[in-house]
Amino acid sequence: MAHPALDLSLDAARLTARLVDFPSVSGDEKALADAVEEALRALPHLTVDRDGDAVVARTNLGRAERVVLAGHIDTVPIADNVPSRLDEDGVLWGCGTSDMKSGVAVQLRIAQTVPDPGRDLTFVFYDHEEVAAELNGLRRLAERHPEWLAADFAVLLEPTEGNVEGGCQGTLRVHVTTSGRRAHSARDWLGENAIHKAAPVLDRLAAYRARRVDIDGLTYREGLNAVRIDGGHATNVIPDHCTVTVNFRFAPDRSEEEAAAHVREVFDGFEVEVTDSAPGALPGLSHPAAAAFVEAVGAEVGPKFGWTDVARFSALGVPAINYGPGDPKLAHTREEHVATAAVLEAEERLRAWLTA
């Protein structure tokens, strides 16, 4: 299906509608990536590069600082909510309106309307964010072309309801395993119940008191929770194996290694296997560009509870924050929507910051 070219002279709200009307479920971003690349190459003040379905555009004005504006162009599977629909109250409905084609529209508008910013700009539009981490387009760019992402500060336009969310938590998952001996449940004294042996694991979780950590004036709350229990073979068999899956959401002052060591300490005496982890990101609000951003946008500032791709920038030594017009609670829902006024406000706030 052919799609029209993107018209960057549209305001961010109408441009959001055009972007939503490009179905771009993860793995099917090519048409939208083609349109984004074509629109950006028409702007003479930008240098444009592409890797797969990720597009990166940069100004090269010799400014003292460089800022990245980043966003993913893919969505979760469509839930009968494309094409977009604008209602009489100025609310735009459709897949990706909040997460995060409204943020991408703001990026594109800034690329078109701010040819002479006070800071050099890098615009990153990447693919495969809504699927497995190993497919993530920003991860691929960081591995193949880290120089494309080099900057002093980054803004990820994920939905935050127009607030500034600094950094993000790290996340770690482990399997805590207990072993026993199988037996017929009518002769339980002949076996050892591995599920019963997991009771102390749950006791330790119930008694656990999570840290609260202040970083750059933001309070991050950690959490250590059982999220799954697997064990048992049949309703008449004493189980010989039980696994408790535990998720640790840790403050960004801990490294992944420190987080893993802490979890092993909590479950000392048990078999603990780390199954996956991702680092957090420090908020970087003390950086002059971040301070200027917060002042310019006039938004409330808080910590990011959860993990976002700001962690990838942090790993590259680039402090990053989350800021976007959508409501994160609506992400991935059938009723996903965004207020057009919020999109226009985000566009104007970013333009004011970059032209001050």
Q: Is 161 a catalytic residue?
A: no
pLDDT single digits (tens) 27-60: 999 999 999 999 999 999 999 999 999 999 999 9
Question: Residue 293 pLDDT more than 90?
Answer: no
Classified as helix, coil or strand, 128 is coil
Q: Is 65 a catalytic residue?
A: no
Predicted model pTM: 0.86
Catalytic pick among 29, 74, 152, 336: 74
Q: Which residue has the tokens 């050099």?
A: 120
Paired strand residues for 215? 218
Could you tell me which residue, 21 or 1, shows the higher pLDDT?
21
Classified as helix, coil or strand, 251 is coil
Are the beta carbons of 157 and 104 closer than 8 angstroms? Answer: yes
Classified as helix, coil or strand, 35 is helix
Percent of all residues in the chain with a pLDDT value above 90, rounded to a whole number: 86
Could you tell me which residue, 295 or 93, shows the higher pLDDT?
93
Q: Which residue has the tokens 């966003």?
A: 71
Q: Which residue has the tokens 């301070």?
A: 291
Lowest mean pLDDT among 89-98, 212-221, 243-252: 212-221
Question: Residue 62 pLDDT more than 60?
Answer: yes
Question: Residue 4 pLDDT more than 80?
Answer: no
CA atoms within 13 A on the CB side of 139: 13
How far apart CA 174 and CA 181 sit, in angstroms, is 23
* Domain ranges for the chain: 12-168+281-355, 170-278
pLDDT single digits (tens) 149-177: 999 999 999 999 999 999 899 999 999 99
- CATH code given to domain 12-168+281-355: 3.40.630.10
Q: Which of 154, 134, 125, 3 is nearest to 52 (CA)?
A: 125
How far apart CA 23 and CA 101 sit, in angstroms, is 11
The chain-wide mean pLDDT, for the chain, equals 94
How far apart CA 210 and CA 220 sit, in angstroms, is 10
pLDDT confidence of residue 3: 63
pLDDT confidence of residue 291: 84
Question: CATH number for the 170-278 domain, one of 3.30.70.360, 2.60.120.650, 3.30.420.10, 3.40.640.10?
Answer: 3.30.70.360
Residue 302, phi then psi, degrees to nearest 5 = -150, 175
Residue 188, phi then psi, degrees to nearest 5 = -65, -25
Lowest mean pLDDT among 90-99, 246-255, 267-276, 297-306: 297-306
Cα–chain center distance at 84: 23
Distances (CA, A) of 309 to 8, 72, 178, 321: 26, 10, 35, 10
Catalytic pick among 37, 127, 129, 309: 129
Which residues have CB under 8 Å from 340's CB, separation 6+? Answer: 13, 16, 86, 90, 91, 92
How far apart CA 110 and CA 119 sit, in angstroms, is 13
